[in-house]
């Protein structure tokens, strides 16, 4: 059972990593290099410029990618059903697999199933609400005159 959960986590990382890196790479290219140069001229090393300038300016993109990757893993059904099976590893069920098992019973109560579906959306709403202040962009606008 432990190996199955590790494999599932690896699949989620492999599934979200390419698009996440693509999104972050494109955002990092929009940060003007002259801002980093200014930090280096002011006495920062290259690593300090990254941690004090680039990372804080990239918080909107990092938070966006985090929410994207979390939503993909939270709502994923196909790989979880393939790795966990529908009855093999009940203690490792993901939320969509649990909802499917809940709806697949002979006495499925649709009102309860819909309530469980709404409750399953609450963590994503909470995460988005907490991270919303980091989703503002445009901090570098007007930072450097070229």
Domains of the chain as residue ranges with CATH: 2-135 (1.10.3720.10)
Q: Per the structure block, which two tokens stand in for 8?
A: 């599932």
**95 pLDDT above the threshold of 70:** yes
Average pLDDT over residues 4-20: 86
Q: Per the structure block, which two tokens stand in for 77?
A: 């059904």
Q: What is the pLDDT of residue 1?
A: 53
pLDDT tier, 145 (very low <50, low <70, confident <90, very high otherwise):
low
**What 3-state DSSP class applies to 146?**
coil
Side-chain-side CA neighbours of residue 6 (13 Å): 3
- Per-residue burial over 9-34, b = 16 or more CB atoms within 10 Å of its CB, e = otherwise: eebbeebbeeebeebeeebeeebeee
Q: What is the pLDDT of residue 2?
A: 62
Angle subtended at Cα 3 by Cα 77 and Cα 62, rounded to the nearest 5 degrees: 55
Q: What is the pLDDT of residue 49?
A: 92
Using CA atoms, how far residue 77 sits from 2, 17, 58, 88, in Å, is 19, 18, 31, 15
Q: Per the structure block, which two tokens stand in for 131?
A: 């991270």
Q: Which of 14-28, 91-105, 125-139 has the highest mean pLDDT?
A: 14-28
Q: Which of 54-63, 68-77, 84-93, 126-135 has the highest mean pLDDT?
A: 54-63
Burial class (CB in 10 A: 0-12, 13-18, 19+), 45: exposed
Q: Per the structure block, which two tokens stand in for 50?
A: 């990254």
């Amino acid at each position: 059972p432990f190996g199955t959960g590790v494999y599932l986590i690896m699949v989620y990382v492999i599934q979200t990593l390419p698009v996440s890196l693509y999104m972050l790479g494109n955002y990092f290219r929009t940060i003007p290099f002259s801002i980093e140069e200014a930090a280096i001229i002011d006495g920062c090393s290259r690593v300090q410029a990254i941690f004090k300038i680039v990372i804080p300016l990239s918080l909107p993109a990092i938070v966006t990618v985090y929410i994207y990757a979390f939503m993909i893993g939270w709502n994923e059904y196909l790989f979880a059903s393939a790795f966990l099976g529908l009855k093999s590893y009940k203690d490792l069920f993901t939320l969509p697999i649990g909802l499917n098992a809940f709806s697949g019973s002979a006495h499925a109560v649709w009102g309860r199933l819909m309530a469980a579906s709404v409750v399953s959306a609450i963590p994503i709403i909470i995460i988005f609400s907490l991270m919303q202040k980091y989703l503002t962009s445009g901090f570098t606008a007007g930072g450097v005159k070229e």
